[in-house]
Structure 1
Amino acid sequence: MSDALLLLPDFALIVLGFLLCRYTALGRPLWDAVERLVYLLLFPALLFGAIVRNPISPASALPLAGSALAVVAVGVLLAYGLRLWPAVDARLHASGAQTAFRFNSYVALALAERLAGPPGVAWMALVVSVCVPLCNVAAVWPLARHGGQGYLRELARNPLIIATVAGLLFNLLGLRLPTLVDTTVARIGAAALPLGLMAVGAGLQVGALKEAPRLAAALLTIRHALLPAFAVLLVVALGLPAGQQAIVVAFAALPTASSAYVLAVRMGGHGGYTAGLVTMSTLIGMLALPLWLAAWRLWSP
C-alpha cells in the first residue's frame, strides 16, 4: 500500500471533523470542549499507557531517541532564530514558533503501526515520550517570556509533560499497572486519536496568517522541508534499521501539533495566527509526508 493510502484514514478523520464543525449542529463550542478533553485527559492517558506498556532498553533505544531529539533540536534553533529577523512581531513569533518543531502525536501514533507494524507503535511511543518534554519546554518559553508568566509553573502544569514523565518513571523502574487500571487507561487513551484528529479538522482556519505571511512561510518551511530533509540524511548516515528510519522520517515530516493553538490561547498568544499555521501545516502534511517517505526510500541503500 502506498504511503498516501497509509495516511488516508487519519486525514479522512480530519476532513470529517471539518465537515461536522462547519455544516452540522456540532459547531465550534462543542469542538472547543473536545479539544480541552483530549488535551487534558485523553491524550495524556494515551501517552502514559503507550510508554508504560512498551519496555524501554536505553542501549537499543539511544540511536532512535537521539535521532528524533536531534530533529527537534534543529527545529527549535531554526524557529528561535527567526526572532532575529527585522520587524518580526514578538507576539506572533512567540505564538507561532512552536509550530516549526512540535508534531501531531495523534497522526504519529495512528501512522506508526501502518508503517512498521506493532514494533512501530513502541518506537513512535518512545520518540513521542522523549520529544514531548523538549517540545513543550521550547514552546512554553517564548510565550511565557512574552506574556510575563511563570515559566516553571507553566511547565509543571502541562498535562503532556506530567504524563510523559510519569510514564518514563514507571517504565524505567520496571513498574506495571494492575490489569484493571491498565485496561481503563487503554480505553481512555483509545478515544484520543479519533477525537483528536477530528478536533484538528474542526479547527482549520487560515485567515490570520495575512498578518505575517513571511514568518508563516518560514515556519512552515522549517516544519515541512528542512526538518524532513535533515532526518533523511541523518538516519541514512547513522544506518538505523529500516523500520526505525521510517519512523524518524515520518516523525520529522508530521503536521504540527493541534494543541499548539490551545497553548497559545491559554498563555495569551495570538490564537488565530497559530490556528492558521496549524491548518496550513495539516494540509501541507497530507501531501509532504508521503513524498518525504518516498524520498527516503529512494535515498536509503
Structure 2
Amino acid sequence: MNYAQLLIPDFSLILCGYLICRYTALNRSVWQPVESLVYYLLFPVLLFQSIVKSPVDIGAASGLIAAGLTMGITGIALAYSLPHWPWLGQHIDARDHAASARVAFRFNSFIGLAIAERLAGAEGLLMIAVLIGVCVPLFNVAAVWPMARHGQHSFARELVRNPLIVATVSGLVANLLGFQIPEWASPTVGRISAASLALGLMAAGAGLQFGLLSRGKALSVAVLSIRHLVQPLLAFAMARLFGLNAVQTTMLLAFSALPTASTCYVLAARMGYNGPYVAGLVTLSTLLGMVSLPFALGFLR
C-alpha cells in the first residue's frame, strides 16, 4: 500500500486551510471559532460515536494501551532530559526548552482521527480513540507540569475540562454498559462526525505559523527528531514487545508519527514563553508529518 499517496487528501486539506487563512478574507478571526467548534463539539461527538458503535475488549486492547503509555512516557523523559545531554545541553536555552519540550510528545488529534478511518475503518477509529483516551491525560500532565510547578496553573482542572478526555471516558462507560445511539439519531451523529474530519484538518492548516526557527537550532532538531524519528522507532519496538495485531500495530505507528499538537504554541504563549518560536516548531512538525507518517506506516510496518 502506498501510504504517501493515501495521506495526500488529508494533507491537501491542511494546505487548503493554510492558503484560505493566509490569502483570503477568511483569516484567523474566522478560523479560531472553527477550531473551538471542532475541538469542543465535533471531535467529541466523533470519538463518542466511534467508541459506542464498536464493542471494546479491554483485555484485547491492553497490549495497545501498555505500548502507547510506554512509548509516551519514554518520549516525555527524552524531551525533558535534553538539557542534561552532553554537548547538546550547552546549546539549549532553558526558557526555550521549557516552552518547546512538549512539541516532542504531544500529537495533533485532528490529523490522527482523520487518517485513522482512512487506514483501518471503524476499528482504526476505535483504536486511535483508545490511545487518545489513555495518552491525552498523561501528555497534558507532562505539558502543563512546569506551569503547575511554578504555581501558575492547575493541570487537574485542565484534565477534567478536556473535551476529548470527557468524550472518550463517557464513550467507554456507555460501551461497557451496552448503550447504543438511537437509530433516529444515527444519521445526524454520523454527519457531525464526518464534518469534523474535514474541518479539523483545514483548521490545523489555518493555524500554521512560521516563527523564529532561526534561533535554537540544536533544540529544534532534537525536539523534532524525538517527535518524528524516535517515537516511530519506539512504536515499532513496542508493537513487537507487546505482540500487537496488524490493526493495533498500524494505529500505534500512525499515532507515533503524527505532527505535534497545534495548541503547543498557545500553551507556551499563555505561560509567558516564546510563542512564535514554538509556532514555528508546530508548523515544521506538520510538514515533517508528511515524511514521518509514510516512514512509519510504510517502511517500519
The equivalent of 2:19 in structure 1 is 19
User: How far apart are residue 268 of structure 1 and its match?
Assistant: 4.5
Q: Show CA shifts across 1:51-74 (max 9, x none).
A: 233321111111122212221111
Unpaired runs of 5+ residues, structure 2, are none
Corresponding residue for 2:242?
Answer: 238
How many Å apart are 1:186 and its aligned residue?
A: 3.9
- Residue identity over aligned pairs, in percent, reads 54
Q: Could you tell me how far apart the structure 1 residues matched to 2:141 and 2:190 are?
A: 26
2-structure distance, mates of 1:63, 1:233: 13
Scaled by the length of structure 2, what TM-score is found? Answer: 0.88
Evaluate the alpha carbon distance shift between residue 47 and residue 231 of structure 1 in structure 2; reply closer, same or farther with a 3 A threshold: same
Q: Which runs of 5+ in 1 are unaligned?
A: none
What is the SS of the residue equivalent to 2:286? helix
Query: CA–CA distance in 1 between the matches of 2:33 and 2:251?
Result: 31
Whole-Å separation in 1 of the counterparts to 2:251 and 2:47? 17
The 1:163/1:156 distance shift into structure 2, 3 A limit, reads same
Q: Following the alignment from structure 1 to structure 2, what is the Cα–Cα distance between the partners of residues 240 and 220?
A: 26
Q: Give the count of matched residue pairs.
A: 297
Residues in 2 aligned to 1:295 and 1:244: alpha-carbon distance in whole angstroms:
16
Cα deviation, 1:248-287, whole Å, max 9, x if unaligned, reads 1111111112233344444544332222111111101101
Amino acid in the other structure paired with 1:61:
A
- Note if 1:164 corresponds to 2:157: no
User: Which secondary structure state, in structure 2, belongs to the residue aligned with residue 211 of structure 1?
Assistant: coil
Residue 281 of structure 1 pairs with residue 285 of structure 2: yes
Give the equivalent residue in structure 2 for 1:140. 144
Q: Can you list the C-alpha shifts for 1:149-202, whole angstroms capped at 9, x where unaligned? A: 223223223322332332233233333344455554443333222112112212
* Residues 1:152 and 2:152 are matched in the alignment: no
| Conserved? CA contact 1:3–1:290, under 8 Å | yes
Contact 2:52-2:171 within 8 A present in 1 as well:
yes
| Aligned partner letter, 1:199 | A
SS in 1 for 2:213: helix
TM-score normalized by the length of structure 1: 0.88
Q: Distance in 2 between the 1:62 and 1:186 partners?
A: 28
1:98 paired residue number? 102
Residues 83, 183 of structure 1: alpha-carbon distance in 2 compared, 3 angstrom cutoff: farther
Conserved in 2, the CA contact under 8 Å of 1:133 and 1:164?
Answer: no
CA distance in 1, matches of 2:94, 2:173: 37
Distance in 1 (CA, whole Å) between partners of 2:47 and 2:269 is 23
Q: CA RMSD in A?
A: 2.3
SS class of match (2:214) = helix
Answer whether contact 1:48 1:166 (CA < 8 A) is retained: yes
